[in-house]
Structure 1
Amino acid sequence: MQLDLPIVWALIIGLAVFIYVILDGFDLGIGLLFPFFESKGEREVMLNTVAPVWDGNETFLVLGGAGLYGAFPIVYSTLLPANYMPLILMVIGLIFRGAAFELRAKARRTQHAWDLAFIGGSALASFCQGVVLGSLLQGIRIVDGRFAGAPFDWLSPFSLFCGFGLMTTYATLGCGWLIMKTDGDMQDKMRAVMKPLVAVLFGTIVVVSIWTVLGLPRVEARWFGSGNTKYFAPVPILVVACTWGIYHALKQRHEATPFLLTLAICFLGFSGLIISIWPYIVPPSLTIWEASSSRSSQIFALVGTAIVLPVILVYNAMQYRVFRGKVREGDAGYH
């Protein structure tokens, strides 16, 4: 019995994308929260909670992109042309965010400008990632294995709303992270900010869910056809339970629970996405098997991934272990 390599690679790429979303999500979220905290000391604390780990988080974006190119090269000839503009803007946002991380610590007269670059880069990257997600979910027109749509097919009310939704998700992750990593007044402020954020996040999930079911017949058929509802019902039920759990944890002044439950909501949202589009890697017509490279190419890439992926996972686990604990104002910063 031969190993179904397209499924293996779909799992690897899905894992890389999900890890990127939850890890880089909370440090992008910190950039989105920056405008609400104007104190220099508070901003330094916020940055210092992620300064040692943020660049390692982006490793999984590279891993997912490289794996996608090696295992499903046809995706590059369809997904990229359909989303050139948001993808280019996303990269620009990540560049500005990264440059701000490195340069604001050394800047004196221009530190405010680098703060704006950090905020703008984080917002742009987050929004564009959500737009690409919305574009993928609503479907990309493909003819004979090539993108056959218009340059601005990605621009729709649904994709723009998904951009807003992902920004909300990242901001909530960032808030939960800061509750876990700070204490005192800073932690109290983050608790106060997280309460309305969770409400907006939950509302966004409800709107996107209803929008996809009403606007995309294939998604409706997947969730409600052929007796699937009883198998998929735990996903929305658990989203409601996690949302209630976050409010309860905030009331009880738990420190790690709000962040962990927000991670759970992200996992459930990612699960809902997979349920909605499987087995299509580019909906509505390109499956993972149709988009696959040759078996020999996938085996070659899989050998390298089997060596590199454990190293990446161990490295990231070690950096979070080394830099665990609270971050306070006056602690040694990022230089």
Structure 2
Amino acid sequence: MIDLTIIWAAIIAFAVAAYVVMDGFDLGIGILFPTFRVGGERDRAMNSIAPVWDGNETWLVLGGGGLMAAFPLAYAIVLPALYAPLIAMLLGLVFRGVAFEFRWRDPGHRRFWDIAFCGGSVVATFAQGITLGALLQGIHVEGRAYGGGWWDWLTPFTLLTGVSLMSGYALLGAGWLIWKTDGPTQAHARKHARMLTIALVGAIVAVSTATPFLDASYYQRWFGWPGVLAAAQMPLLVAIAAFILWRSIDLGRDWLPFAMTLILFGLSMAGLAISIWPDVIPGRVSIWDAAAPERSQVFMLIGAGLLVPVILAYTAWAYWVFRGKVDETGYH
């Protein structure tokens, strides 16, 4: 028998992963933006993401909308628990989007729009990291509603996950620029990538060390049977991926640093899945407890089955068309 709840959990997990992969690198470029020289370097960085950045956010809409429709109880608990960081994330994305468009159309105030582009990227990324940390550390639930306080989301652990995600997105951005640019911009991106590789590996170690001790269920899933089989392989896989990433930064294959950073993100998301499965609110609400009625899931699955392939096809086509290197005037 097909379990629609698991299918919808997989769809939402895929949407979140796609958003992290696709919007992560352009948020990372925003984080790194002040370090690039005014003029050609900044224009190249912006042009490298201009054709795809707004389409990347489609996956955020799918993930959030899917959570509300397929797991309404989880949505009703998570939203009031994380109002502040979620609103901050949305405002950051708005500022980034407005700044992206206006820096070309209002050159007289380009410095202001550059600051807004960077600030929006930093706020959106940091808020996403805090949201992840708040979910991992646990949300207080009373009955079928959020039972915690306004500031429960703000802890040392959530600040750690916020800074960690910023380092990860910045490394994705540097890897993207290594792939898509050449000359001084690429050399600048390589320099950042070396430092950010160390920062990201340190962040992965710090978060991975702290997570099993947040809740006894995490510890059991990681170090109990059979979870220990996967947990034992993670440090080795992360070390191998980080070593290849470090070596690839100076190699001639410009796409490899970006690809290896994606692998590090994939391993991190696999670790997250091991920690929380099968809960949608860790330690409190499982995916089956939070699921919408079966008829609703079937109805939504028909729509998702039609739209997701279209989104994938459009996204693949956009990346294929703009697959070359970029200069101050655009792709070539």
Is TM-score (shorter-chain normalized) higher than 0.5?
Answer: yes
Match of 1:125 in 2: 124
Contact 2:324 2:331 in 1 (8 A): no
Q: Any idea what SS the aligned residue of 1:289 has?
A: helix
Unmatched segments (≥5 aa) in structure 1: none
Matched, 1:261 2:260: yes
Q: Any idea what SS the aligned residue of 2:107 has?
A: coil
1:153 alignment partner AA = D
Matched, 1:296 2:265: no
Identical aligned pairs, as a percentage? 48
Match of 1:164 in 2: 163
Match of 1:11 in 2: 10
Match of 1:247 in 2: 246
Q: Any idea what SS the aligned residue of 1:290 has?
A: helix
2:234 alignment partner AA = V
Distance in 1, matches of 2:103 and 2:257, equals 30
How far off is 1:282 after superposition? 0.5
Alignment of structure 1 residues 98-247 onto 2, 5 Å: 98-247=97-246
Q: Any idea what SS the aligned residue of 1:298 has?
A: helix
Distance in 2, matches of 1:310 and 1:92, equals 29
The C-alpha deviation readout for 1:60-109, integer Å capped at 9, x for no partner, is 00111111111001112111111000000110000000001111101122
Q: Any idea what SS the aligned residue of 1:52 has?
A: coil
Q: Any idea what SS the aligned residue of 1:78 has?
A: helix
How far off is 1:211 after superposition? 0.8
1:189 alignment partner AA = H
Distance in 2, matches of 1:196 and 1:4, equals 45
Distance in 2, matches of 1:209 and 1:216, equals 13
Question: Does 42-51 or 245-254 show the bigger shift?
Answer: 245-254
Match of 1:42 in 2: 41
The C-alpha deviation readout for 1:295-314, integer Å capped at 9, x for no partner, is 00000000000000000000
Question: Does 301-310 or 218-227 show the bigger shift?
Answer: 218-227
Question: Does 288-297 or 237-246 show the bigger shift?
Answer: 237-246
Match of 2:325 in 1: 326
Match of 2:273 in 1: 274
Distance in 2, matches of 1:39 and 1:113, equals 12
Contact 2:176 2:258 in 1 (8 A): yes
Distance in 2, matches of 1:113 and 1:149, equals 39
Q: 1:262 to 1:300 in 2, by over 3 A?
A: same
Question: Does 90-99 or 207-216 show the bigger shift?
Answer: 207-216
Distance in 1, matches of 2:277 and 2:162, equals 22
Distance in 2, matches of 1:91 and 1:227, equals 39
Match of 1:87 in 2: 86
- Superposed structure 1 runs of 4+ greater than 6 Å apart: none
Q: Any idea what SS the aligned residue of 1:281 has?
A: strand
Distance in 2, matches of 1:153 and 1:42, equals 41
Unmatched segments (≥5 aa) in structure 2: none
1:179 alignment partner AA = I
Q: Any idea what SS the aligned residue of 2:252 has?
A: coil
Contact 2:47 2:328 in 1 (8 A): no
Matched, 1:77 2:115: no
Q: Give the TM-score normalised by structure 2.
A: 0.98
1:177 alignment partner AA = W
Distance in 2, matches of 1:41 and 1:93, equals 25
Q: Any idea what SS the aligned residue of 2:152 has?
A: coil
Q: Give the TM-score normalised by structure 1.
A: 0.97
How far off is 1:332 after superposition? 7.1
